Structure 1
Amino acid sequence: MVSDISRLNDRTPGLDAGLLVARILLVALFLVAGYYKLIDPARNAAYFGSLGLPMPAAMVWVVVAIEIVLPLMILFGIGTRWAALGLLVFTIASAFIGHRFWTFDQATQFGQYFAQLSNFLKNLAIAGGLGVLALVGPGRYAIEARGRI
């Protein structure tokens, strides 16, 4: 796979820098979300409970771990493909669990409907970016690439 990326990089100047920027942009949201869950776990447990999640207090800590550990792995380029794949699954699950736009009536609750629809679609777009990252890897500017530079 590294040779495939090397050949692509030969035809696409700046690919490695672009992948680094993409990694930074993809993980920023997760790190901020994880931080805010970390500083107020009780509020987030109440929200998770309202979504019907089992053991919401424990679930907060699972989500904090996912939203901090996997993005840091992607950011620094450590097990990037696996971390991106894990975050992709988490992001799609989050779209269906947390952004249930279909539960709002478009005619009477359009603001809530549209906000949830937008967030649902944003999650899918982020999952698409994570999927690309899982396929192509982190590029040259990553800890895991040090032995391959």
Structure 2
Amino acid sequence: MTSTADIAVLVGRCLIACLFLAGAAQKVLDPGSSMALLTDRGLPDLLVWPALGFNALAGLALVAGWAVRPVAALLALYCGVTSLFHFLPGDPWQMSIFVKNWAIAGGCLVLAAHGPGRYVLGGHKHGVT
């Protein structure tokens, strides 16, 4: 029998994945805004492309339930690093994004600790769970 917790883990995993998939789509549709954010911080704008790839692959892995523990741990680290781009104490909007990144990192850490849950693509847990 399906438990509410099993469904909650699946929905939570997919909601977190949507954030990263949307980030990948944004980078495809408008790479310039992410490139500007990178160059404003003294980083090469070409870093947008590996970030896009990571966002897309990690998001798909979360949806599918594949290698959720290591992927979620990497996403938590990614959120921590990218939060620094938004640490602008004089800008309330950027500070809200900074805090949201840490909240998303928290959700990723829960997935890293507990794995994908019962529902994964293919009906069984792939790789490291």
TM-score category (smaller protein): 0.7 to 0.9
Tell me the alpha carbon deviations over residues 87-135 of structure 1, each in whole angstroms, 9 at most, x when there is no partner. Answer: 1100010001x10223x2xxxxxxxx21111111111111001000110
CA contact (8 A) 2:64 2:121 kept: yes
Aligned counterpart for 2:104 among listed residues 126, 136, 139: 126
One-letter identity of the residue aligned with 2:118: R
Aligned counterpart for 1:82 among listed residues 70, 73, 85: 70
TM-score by length of 2: 0.87
The secondary structure found in structure 2 opposite 1:24 is helix
* Structure showing the higher helix proportion among its residues: 1
Task: Compute the RMSD of aligned alpha carbons.
Answer: 2.1
In the alignment, structure 1 residue 50 sits paired with structure 2 residue 40? yes
Higher-Rg structure is: 1
Unaligned runs of 5+ in 1: 1-9, 105-112
Tell me the alpha carbon deviations over residues 49-100 of structure 1, each in whole angstroms, 9 at most, x when there is no partner. Answer: 11221x212x01011011111111011001011110111100010001x102
- Figure out how many residues of one structure are paired with residues of the other and give that number: 126
Distance 1:84-1:147 versus aligned 2 partners, 3 A rule: closer
Tell me the alpha carbon deviations over residues 15-61 of structure 1, each in whole angstroms, 9 at most, x when there is no partner. Answer: 111100001111111111111101232443233111221x212x010
CA contact (8 A) 1:73 1:79 kept: yes
What stretches of structure 1 move > 3 A for 4+ residues in a row?
A: none
Distance 1:99-1:81 versus aligned 2 partners, 3 A rule: same
Sequence identity percentage:
33
CA contact (8 A) 2:87 2:94 kept: yes
The secondary structure found in structure 1 opposite 2:124 is helix
